[in-house]
Amino acid sequence: MDLISTLLKNMTSEDSLSALKGVTGGSDKQVESAVNSAVPTLLKSMTKNASTEDGARSLLGALGQHTNTDPLSSQIKNRSEE
């Protein structure tokens, strides 16, 4: 399974969509559509950024700040409560 498919599977699970709906107030269809559009766009931008040494270093640093291994739905809910 490729990275985009893996991310989309996690982000469009029932729990993740429910958490995103709770944060955004959107419908199932709206939230799923937004996720399906955003993930490939974000990965394309990250890939472009990582194509230079400075960009790759910056991206690695940013990704290193995100080490939470809780389920995505929990992370979404916890983030919205901050």
CB 4 within 8 A of CB 39: yes
pTM (2 decimals)?
A: 0.73
pLDDT tens sequence across 6-42: 888 988 999 999 999 999 999 989 999 999 999 989 9
What's the rounded Cα separation, in Å, for the pair 51 and 67?
23
Measured CA angle at 39 (ends 61, 52), to 5 deg: 40
Q: Position of tokens 């040494």?
A: 53
Helix (H, G, I), strand (E, B) or coil at 44: helix
